[in-house]
Amino acid sequence: MAVGIFDSGLGGLTVLDAVAKRLPDVPFVYYGDNAHAPYGVRDADDVYELTTAGVQRLFDAGCDLVILACNTASAAALRRMQEAWVPADKRVLGVFVPLIEALTERQWGDNSPPREVAVKHVALFATPATVSSRAFQRELAFRAIGVDVEAQPCGGVVDAIEDGDMILAEALVRSHVEALQRRMPKPEAAILGCTHYPLMEDVFQDALGEGVAVYSQANLVAESLADYLTRHPDKLGDGTEAAFLTTGDPARVSNKAIQFLRRKIEFVKA
């Protein structure tokens, strides 16, 4: 009954933490492609090849359902994977869906025509690769009209977080918020489009101001997954053991993971 969680590095641990609390009886197998992180500066073909390799490893571990807890992979690889690669008895889901559901206040299965929503001015903070893919804007356009999205590529933030340099990460976040506000002075909502960014949510909120609704992903993904598994219980794979897999150095990755989960975990070589 295992479910796979895939990420390019450690940011997906914010999603893992939320889904594990929401679904305590489900064993999760986490795969971090730390040897090739970050994905945010890679081209789409490279991201696709790395993502399919990682997801296949999770299928091999007994996971029939894999969550891409990586916005870059969701943006650059997911649609191509679903159309041409994912086996009929498996499912791979991304992390954009719960965000768009929350923003548009409509369920993903609602295929009615796009309609106006309350929020008109949205700031999107994401990796350069996610921003250049325009995947978020494309998916949002299927469901809402009249929404202005201003996207800010947040170069350097993921590296700073993974290196544990939170002072640099905070400085970069404030710089990126300032850059976005020069183009969109008064956003009504902000999307934190990277699973590393929940660690900086308070900084984003402070820089944006109290009047801006900040949407982070972890809890939204957890609720969406719980609902999905209620509707599709057959997608619980036959794996029974939780595990943490990495393509990087297990000892080093395990030490760095503490800042994400606030507890000691042990990664093994993928």
Residue 4 CA to residue 162 CA, distance in Å, equals: 21
Q: Which of 10, 69, 172, 194 is catalytic?
A: 194
The catalytically annotated residue of 66, 70, 100, 243 is 70
Sign of CA dihedral 210, 219, 268, 127: negative
Q: Spell out the long-range contacts of 219-224 with Cβ–Cβ below 8 A and sequence spacing 24 or more.
A: 219/18, 220/98, 220/99, 220/101, 220/102, 221/15, 221/18, 221/19, 221/67, 221/69, 221/95, 221/98, 222/15, 222/18, 222/19, 222/21, 222/22, 222/23, 223/22, 223/98, 224/97, 224/98, 224/101
Would you call 63 a catalytic residue per the annotation? Answer: no
Do 86 and 58 form a contact (C-beta atoms < 8 A)?
A: no
Q: How many CA atoms lie within 13 A of 109 on its CB side?
A: 4
Known catalytic residue: 70?
A: yes
Quick one: CA torsion of 47, 51, 53, 57, rounded to 10 degrees? 160
CA–CA gap between residue 3 and residue 67 (Å, rounded): 8
Q: Which residues are catalytic?
A: 70, 194
